Chains A and B, each alone.
Chain A
Amino acid sequence: MTDVSTIAETPGTTASTVAGAPRRRRRSNRLSPLLVAFVLVPFAVESIWVFWPALQGFWFSLTRWDGQTPPEFIGVNNYVELAGDATFRGALLNTVIWLVLFGGLSVVGGFGMALLLQKERRGVGFYRAALFTPVVFSLVVTALVWRVFYQPDGLADQILRTIGLEHLIRPWLADPQTALYAVILPALWRQIGYVMVLFLAGLKAIDPALHEAARMDGANGWQRLWYVTVPQLKGVNAVVLSVIVIDSLRSFDIVWSLTKGGPYHSSELLSTYMYSAAFQSLRLGYASAIAVVIFVLALAVILGYLVRAFREEA
Chain B
Amino acid sequence: MIRKLRTGTFHTGMLLLSLLWLGPVIWVVVMSTRTFDDIAANGLGSLPHSFTLDTYRQAWVDGGELRALINSLLVTVPSVLLSLALAAVAAFALSRYRIPGRRTILLLMLAGNLLPPQILLIPVQKFSELTGLYDTLWALITVQVGFGLGFYTFVLHGFMRDLPGEIQEAATIDGAGPGQIFTRVMLPLTRPALAALGALSFTWIFNDLLWAITVLRTDDRMPVTPALLALQGQFVSSWSVIAAGTVIAAVPTVAVFLRFQRHFIGGLAIGAVK
Q: Which residues of chain A have a CB within 8 Å of any CB of chain B?
A: 1, 4-7, 10, 12, 16, 24, 27-28, 31-32, 34-35, 38-39, 41-43, 45-46, 48-54, 56-58, 60, 67, 113, 116-117, 123, 126-127, 130-134, 136-141, 144-149, 151, 153-155, 157-158, 189, 193-194, 197-202, 205, 235-236, 239-240, 242-243, 246, 249-250, 252-253, 256-257, 270-271, 274-275, 278-279, 284, 287-288, 290-292, 294-295, 298, 302, 305-306, 309-310, 313
Contacts and interface: CB of A to CB of B under 8 A. Distances in A.
Nearest to A55: B123
B74 to A, nearest CB: 17
Interface of B: 10-11, 14, 17-18, 21-22, 24-25, 27-28, 31, 43-46, 86-87, 89-90, 92-99, 102-103, 105-124, 126-127, 142-143, 145-147, 149-150, 153-154, 161-162, 165-166, 168-169, 172, 177-179, 182, 203, 206-210, 214, 225-226, 228-229, 232, 239, 242-243, 245-246, 249-250, 253-254, 256-257, 264-265, 268-269, 271-273
A290 B118 contact: yes
B114 A246 contact: yes
B90 A140 contact: no
Given A113-B17, A148-B243, A291-B122, 13 more contacts: A39-B93, A53-B119, A126-B18, A130-B21, A136-B250, A138-B250, A138-B253, A139-B209, A148-B242, A153-B43, A199-B272, A274-B118, A294-B118
Contacts of B249: 138, 140-141
B24 A149 contact: yes
Interface centre among B95, B147, B169 (most CB of A within 10 A): B169
A155 B45 contact: yes
Given A136-B203, A157-B45, A16 B169 contact: yes
Nearest to B102: A5
A140 B225 contact: yes
15 contacts: A1-B103, A5-B95, A6-B97, A35-B93, A38-B89, A39-B99, A49-B147, A131-B18, A144-B245, A249-B116, A252-B118, A256-B209, A290-B118, A295-B118, A310-B103
Given A42-B89, A45-B149, A278-B122, A136 B257 contact: yes
Contacts of A138: 206-209, 225, 249-250, 253
B116 to A, nearest CB: 5
A35 B228 contact: no
Contact of A31 (B99, B103, B124, B271): B99
B243 to A, nearest CB: 6
A31 B253 CA distance: 41
B89 A46 contact: no
Contacts of B172: 7
A148 B121 contact: no
Contacts of B232: 144, 147
B121 A275 contact: yes
B27 A298 contact: no
Contacts of A113: 17
A144 B149 contact: no
A286 B14 CA distance: 48
A71 B81 CA distance: 37
A53 B250 CA distance: 32
A51 B21 contact: no
Contacts of B124: 49, 53
A75 B267 CA distance: 45
A279 B125 CA distance: 10
Contacts of A31: 97, 99
Contacts of A60: 122-123
B118 A53 contact: no
A261 to B, nearest CB: 14
B123 to A, nearest CB: 4
Nearest to A233: B272
B9 to A, nearest CB: 11
Contact of A42 (B18, B87, B95): B87
A271 B24 CA distance: 27
B94 to A, nearest CB: 6
B22 A127 contact: no
B114 A252 contact: no
A199 B271 CA distance: 11
Nearest to A146: B24
A190 B94 CA distance: 35
A29 B31 CA distance: 67
Given A42-B90, A50-B150, A154-B45, A5 B97 contact: yes
A48 to B, nearest CB: 6
A239 B122 CA distance: 29
Contacts of B45: 153-155, 157-158
B122 A57 contact: yes
A265 B123 CA distance: 26
B21 A189 contact: yes
B246 A141 contact: yes
Contact of A116 (B14, B44, B268): B14
A133 B228 contact: no
